[in-house]
Amino acid sequence: MPELPEVETTRRGIAPHVEGREIVEAIVRQPRLRVPVPEDFIDRLVGSRIGSIARRAKYLLLSIEGGCEEEGAGTLIWHLGMSGSLRIARLGELPKKHDHVDLVFDDGAILRYHDPRRFGFVDWLAGSAERDPRLANLGPEPLSDAFDGERLYRLSRGRRMAVKPFLMDNAVVVGVGNIYASEALFLAGIDPRRAAGRISLERYARLAAAVREVLAAAITQGGTTLRDFVSGTGEPGYFKQRLNVYGRHGQGCRRCNGELRLVTLGQRASVFCPICQK
């Protein structure tokens, strides 16, 4: 599944090609996504202009200015699901299987949504996006000043759940998925099985710093290449070359050369070093 760095890489990749551009055509080849494409999708968008593209957690938010209808202004909320991607194509490039939605712009660029599993969606939001229930109760962004070790420590008091699923809770902090939670816990030296409520403020400060470090590095390197992910311009990510634990169970730890172990926490596979992580 594309995680926060992959979504941010997509945002940065497509923004220069679509911000400020007029939508001259909208094509929906497959409306039956996880959330059905709105019936008035085409009518709302043709003749409108993309303002800015923002990201909130793993959602992309495309502000829409004007349009064919007076109430055309609003926001497109886009989620890539398990295997979705947004890429820039050009007029004349034939769509492939699973290319479900196109936005065609006045300069010939096409924003093309590809999703083999159809677990993603694009939806229309009228008014403020922050009031949408999918966004309203999310925690802070992990690279913002609102996220720190004190927040983790405060919210974890009395919690018996393991620290890894606690860190992956979007009400605690958004966008720290399975890959990057595993990597941050390794950098901080924390066993992912440890009860969240039994970790000190000092260790949570190290964990928050590790989350920032691993996410910033992944964004810089274009995300992590898994089976399906490519950036908005069609390039793969390269952070996978630097993974310390994720996907490496049974191999040697890069620090101590001890064997990495695999456990299941919150129905997700978790790899850690039993020597380096306590």
Asked if 162 contacts 266 with a C-beta cutoff of 8 angstroms, the reply is yes
Q: pLDDT tier at 97 (50, 70, 90 boundaries)?
A: very high
For residue 95, indicate whether it is catalytic.
no
Task: Say whether both 162 and 242 belong to one domain.
Answer: yes
pLDDT in the model for residue 264: 97
pTM: 0.88
166 closest CA partner among 139, 202, 143, 144: 139
Task: Say whether both 25 and 115 belong to one domain.
Answer: yes
| Alpha carbon separation from 66 to 22, 23, 77, 122, 247 (Å, rounded) | 10, 11, 17, 19, 46
Note the pLDDT tens digit of each residue in 209-244: 999 999 999 998 875 543 344 445 555 444 555 799
The dihedral formed by the CA atoms of 87, 91, 93 and 99, expressed in degrees to the nearest 10: 50
Task: Say whether both 245 and 159 belong to one domain.
Answer: yes
For residue 96, indicate whether it is catalytic.
no
**3-state DSSP call for residue 229?**
coil
Q: What is the mean pLDDT of the chain?
A: 91
Q: Based on the structure, what is the number of domains in the chain?
A: 2
pLDDT in the model for residue 224: 56
CA distance 164 to 26: 41
Candidate list 22, 261, 268, 274, residue with the active-site label: 268
Structural domain includes residue 141: no
Residue type at position 219:
I
pLDDT in the model for residue 117: 95
Task: Say whether both 156 and 210 belong to one domain.
Answer: yes
Structural domain includes residue 144: no
pLDDT in the model for residue 3: 87
Structural domain includes residue 46: yes
**Does 192 have pLDDT greater than 90?**
yes
Candidate list 2, 5, 142, 192, residue with the active-site label: 2
Task: Say whether both 27 and 74 belong to one domain.
Answer: yes
Task: Say whether both 223 and 182 belong to one domain.
Answer: yes
Note the pLDDT tens digit of each residue in 127-148: 778 889 999 999 999 999 999 9
Q: Which residues contact 195 (CB under 8 A, 6 or more apart)?
A: 159, 160, 161, 162, 163
For residue 259, indicate whether it is catalytic.
no
92: tokens are: 């004349």
Structural domain includes residue 143: no
Note the pLDDT tens digit of each residue in 243-266: 999 999 999 999 999 999 999 999
Asked if 142 contacts 3 with a C-beta cutoff of 8 angstroms, the reply is no
For residue 58, indicate whether it is catalytic.
yes
CATH of the domain at 182: 1.10.8.50
pLDDT in the model for residue 129: 84
Write b or e for each residue in 167-192: b if 16 or more Cβ atoms lie within 10 A of its Cβ, otherwise e: bbbeebbbbbbbbbbbbbbbbbebbb
pLDDT in the model for residue 115: 97
Candidate list 49, 58, 164, 203, residue with the active-site label: 58
Task: Say whether both 175 and 246 belong to one domain.
Answer: yes
Q: Judge whether 117 is annotated as a binding position.
A: yes
Range of the domain at 197: 149-272
pLDDT in the model for residue 229: 40
Lowest mean pLDDT among 102-111, 158-167, 192-201, 220-229: 220-229
Please indicate whether residue 126 or residue 94 has the higher confidence score (pLDDT).
94
Tokens 């229930």 — which residue? 133
Task: Say whether both 196 and 253 belong to one domain.
Answer: yes
Task: Say whether both 178 and 258 belong to one domain.
Answer: yes
Task: Say whether both 120 and 32 belong to one domain.
Answer: yes
278 closest CA partner among 190, 164, 196, 199: 190
Q: Which of 105, 136, 167 is the last residue of a domain?
A: 136
Q: Judge whether 98 is annotated as a binding position.
A: yes
Task: Say whether both 85 and 42 belong to one domain.
Answer: yes
Note the pLDDT tens digit of each residue in 50-64: 999 999 999 999 999
Task: Say whether both 75 and 185 belong to one domain.
Answer: no
Asked if 86 contacts 10 with a C-beta cutoff of 8 angstroms, the reply is yes
CATH of the domain at 8: 3.20.190.10
Q: Which residues contact 94 (CB under 8 A, 6 or more apart)?
A: none
Q: Judge whether 114 is annotated as a binding position.
A: no
Please name every residue paired with 261 in a beta bridge, in sequence order, or none if there are none.
272
